[in-house]
């Protein structure tokens, strides 16, 4: 069955503009002249084989690494010059980023709520504990949680500041199918309610079909195909996004 096209909830206000980004690590060009944009309320997926340059792209957009060339504008501001202002309205979650393991789940969320200088930190933490069903885990140390449970804490942390732009690197990689399904629904709903935009990498094609309005396929640090899941399936004569992925990846 062909995937349905998802329409963004809000108008096409540019929230993120990345223009001709380049990043080299020694002799490896991880990102090679990549341009992409994300509109307000839009959920954009970045797909590609291992090593295609997805995480490097996200890390540049988050200001974690500096591009060798190109420009990044977030909320209309140049990231290089307005880093603090921009990043206070952005958040990020990835399974490879560790939270402080010796702290209790509630303490971790309280600490980030303070860092983000939230106006009602206790109420917001309680809201997210409820939303991500973390009540039974809130008095347990992060280091004692399973990887899927830790992922839920990461995602709760990522939503604390109701970010205008949420960047997720394989957000549900460690979740069982039931938790993954519920979390995808929660993320989509949270994004719609906050009017947040999301930029997501994932190797789960059904997740991308379900969540993303627009998808970019990367190969060798470049975007090689873009469109909604339905447009891409039509263009490649594929039944679903998984088939598109294989066709794009195999040239
Ligand atoms: N810090 C680094 N030092 C050297 N090379 C790096 C570094 N980070 C990434 N690379 C290289 O850049 C290329 C792109 O890596 P990147 O992590 O962006 O890929 P990816 O698309 O996120 O892959 P995956 O799906 O496996 O997570 C790879 O060849 C990788 O080895």
**Does the structure show a pLDDT above 60 at 233?**
yes
pLDDT average, residue stretch 34-53: 94
Ligand 1: residue of 26, 28, 205 to mutate (most ligand atoms within 8 A of CB) is: 28
C-alpha 122 chain-centroid distance: 25
Residue 55 CA to its chain's centroid (Å): 10
Please determine, for residue 191, whether its predicted confidence score (pLDDT) is greater than 90. no
Distance from the CA of 52 to the center of ligand 1, in angstroms?
7
Q: Which residue has the higher pLDDT, 219 or 7?
A: 219
Looking at the chain, the whole-number percentage of residues with pLDDT higher than 70 is 95
pLDDT digits (tens, 9 = 90+) for 115-127: 999 999 999 999 9
Residue 48 CB less than 6 A away from ligand 1: yes
Q: What number is the average pLDDT over the span 194-207?
A: 90
pLDDT digits (tens, 9 = 90+) for 6-30: 444 445 557 999 999 999 999 999 9
Ligand 1 site-directed mutation target among 22, 30, 34, most atoms within 8 Å of CB: 30
pLDDT band at 37 (very low <50, low <70, confident <90, very high): very high
| Dist. CA 236 → ligand 1 center (Å) | 27
Ligand 1 centroid to residue 104 C-alpha, Å: 32
Q: Phi/psi at 199 (nearest 5 deg)?
A: -120, 125
Helix then strand then coil, in percent of the chain rounded to 5, is 40, 25, 35
Look at residue 224 and tell me whether its pLDDT is greater than 90: yes
3-state DSSP call for residue 71?
strand
Does the Cβ of 95 fall within 6 Å of ligand 1?
A: no
Sign of CA dihedral 115, 72, 57, 236: positive
Please determine, for residue 54, whether its predicted confidence score (pLDDT) is greater than 60. Answer: yes
CA dist 197 to 2, 9, 123, 136, 205, Å?
25, 10, 23, 30, 19
Cα–Cα nearest to 21, from 222, 227, 218: 222
Top mutation candidate among 56, 205, 219 for ligand 1, by most atoms within 8 Å of CB? 56
Q: Answer whether 41's CB lies under 8 Å from 8's CB.
A: yes
Segment 24-49 mean pLDDT: 95
Over range 229-239, report the average pLDDT.
Answer: 95
Indicate if the pLDDT at residue 70 is higher than 90. Answer: yes
On the question of pLDDT at 1 being above 60, the answer is no
């Amino acid at each position: 069955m062909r995937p349905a096209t998802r329409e963004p909830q809000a108008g096409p206000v540019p929230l993120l503009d990345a223009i001709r980004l380049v990043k080299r690590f020694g002799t490896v060009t991880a990102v090679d002249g990549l341009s992409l944009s994300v509109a307000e309320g839009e959920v954009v997926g970045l797909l590609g084989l291992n090593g295609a340059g997805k995480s490097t792209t996200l890390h540049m957009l988050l200001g974690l690494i500096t591009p060798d060339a190109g420009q990044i504008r977030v909320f209309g501001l140049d990231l290089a010059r307005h880093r603090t202002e921009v990043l206070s309205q952005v958040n990020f979650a990835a399974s490879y980023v560790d939270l402080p393991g010796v702290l209790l789940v509630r303490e971790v969320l309280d600490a980030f709520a303070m860092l983000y200088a939230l106006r009602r930190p206790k109420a917001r933490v309680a809201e997210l504990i409820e939303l991500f069903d973390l009540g039974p885990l809130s008095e347990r140390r992060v280091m004692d949680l399973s990887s899927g449970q830790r992922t839920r804490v990461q995602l709760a942390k990522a939503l604390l500041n109701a970010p205008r732009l949420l960047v997720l690197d394989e957000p549900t990689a460690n979740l069982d199918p039931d938790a993954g399904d519920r979390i995808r629904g929660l993320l989509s709903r949270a994004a719609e309610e906050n009017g947040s935009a999301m930029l997501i990498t994932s190797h789960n094609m059904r997740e991308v079909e379900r969540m993303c309005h627009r998808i970019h396929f990367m190969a060798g640090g470049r975007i090689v195909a873009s469109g909604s899941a339905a447009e891409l399936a039509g263009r490649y004569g594929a039944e679903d996004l998984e088939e598109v992925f294989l066709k794009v990846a195999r040239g």
